[in-house]
Amino acid sequence: MLPISAKDVVRFTPRVELLAWLQARLDEATDVEQHEALERQIGKVQDEIDAAPQPVYLLAVASHLQRAAFRRDLLATGATYAGDAALYAALREDLEAVAPVNLPELLAIVDEVEAAGKPADAAPEVRDRWPGITRVARALGGRFAALEGDQEFYLSVAPIVACRHFLLGWENVDAPFTRRGNLTTDETLAALEEGEMQAIGFKAMNLMRPTKALEKNSASPSRSASSPRPSRTATSKRLTAQRGSSTENASSETPASA
């Protein structure tokens, strides 16, 4: 299998990938309540896929030069992402600065969350305490609050910049598509809901570091989604989106190039 290159265009259907992600989580679920909640989510997403042709977004696989241009434009927005390690370190520093009587207990909780990777994966009693700890840390207005704000800004801005650079066209979207100067226009992106644009942008960013599975999937054409609602026994089946009869709706003002 040849690796994907900067000349390839990847077809991305957000709800289909969401469905696959939910099914993977369903396979891993051990809690009955979590399992039932995931099954409800899967059913809802599958119904949405079955109800209408799904939007398909055409994404460029960035070359080295295109990656550099993306990073330049992202940096120009002032968006920075310090990383989780820096965020946890800042939280510890802010807690130590106010020195509450239960400081050792709070620091132990921070350690557990960091070791787990994220609050949702920590033990239930730790998850329950985490929102209160971070709420107090934000109120202190220290380094933790500043870094968390920086990360939130980055996560909001980065996918927008990625869409400008790497979104080349779309199908089943009732809006014109235009690129100027090798960038998708803000007027074009205004047709997308914020959540949809974030999904597209993060997908484009992930394509900058393709995995073996991504290389395999990018070489395969999209197929129609299966109509039956997925069951636990069907979670290993590959799912792709319904294809509508419409074609790519891209303006010829500036030809899109990968």
Per-residue pLDDT of the chain (258 residues; tens, 9 = 90+): 334 455 689 999 999 999 999 999 899 888 888 889 999 999 999 999 999 999 999 999 999 999 999 999 999 999 999 899 999 999 999 999 999 999 999 999 999 999 999 998 899 999 999 999 999 999 999 999 999 999 999 999 999 999 999 999 999 999 999 999 999 999 999 999 999 999 999 999 999 875 544 444 433 333 333 333 333 333 333 333 333 333 344 444 433 433
3-state secondary structure of 149: helix
Strands (E), 123-228: 167-171, 179-180, 183-184
CB atoms inside a 10 Å sphere around CB 203: 22
CB 62 within 8 A of CB 105: no
Alpha-carbon Rg for the chain in angstroms: 21
Spell out the residues 6+ positions from residue 236 whose beta carbon is closer than 8 angstroms to its own.
Answer: none
pLDDT reported for residue 167: 97
Residues 91 and 84: their CA atoms lie apart, in Å, by 10
Alpha-carbon gap, residue 138 to 90, rounded angstroms: 11
CB 56 within 8 A of CB 223: no
Structure tokens at 171: 């199908």
CA–centroid distance for 20 within its chain: 14
Distance from C-alpha of 43 to C-alpha of 30, rounded to nearest angstrom: 19
- Direct distance between the N- and C-terminal alpha carbons of the chain, in angstroms, rounded to an integer: 21
Full-model pTM: 0.72
Q: What is the pLDDT of residue 237?
A: 34
Helix (H, G, I), strand (E, B) or coil at 10: strand
Considering only CA atoms, which of 42, 227, 70 is closest in space to residue 161?
A: 70
**What is the model's pLDDT at position 28?**
87
